[in-house]
Amino acid sequence: MVIVVANRTITVSAAGVRQVASYSAKGYPDEVKRQCLTLYVNGLGFRAIERCTGVNHNTVINWVKHSGVNLADAPHSEMIPELAQVDELQTFVGSKKTKSGSGQR
């Protein structure tokens, strides 16, 4: 007996053994995966991505985990700056906080 279910041809013998002749393509296109990962990097949560794209949030979590394995652990030491300049606003706010907390009430 031959049965066609969801683009699959299943042959069942008299002994009840099933053999699948062909499978349909599974998975999401690379463009959908790229879009979900971009949304994640831009700050959307997993369930928000699910609502926007229709891809299950567990699938997106697995994609993020798989992508994270391919990333480098830490930047090379020559890429880390030795000297940095603090923004003027941060310096100004920091100086005001220390002056106001000097015991004057």
Give me the domain span that covers residue 38: 25-70
**32: in domain:** yes
**49: in domain:** yes
pLDDT above 70 for 97 = no
**38: in domain:** yes
**34: in domain:** yes
Q: Which two tokens stand for residue 57?
A: 């949030």
Q: What is the mean predicted confidence (pLDDT) over 3-19?
A: 56
Residues sharing a CB contact under 8 Å with residue 83, sequence separation 6 or more, in sequence order? none
Higher pLDDT, 6 or 47: 47
pLDDT above 70 for 96 = no
| SS3 state at 103 | coil
Angle at 85 between CA 82 and CA 89, to 5 degrees: 155
**54: in domain:** yes
**89: in domain:** no
**100: in domain:** no
How many separate domains does the chain show? 1
- The predicted-structure confidence for 13-66, as pLDDT tens digits, reads as follows 655 555 555 555 678 999 999 999 999 999 999 999 999 999 999 999 999 999
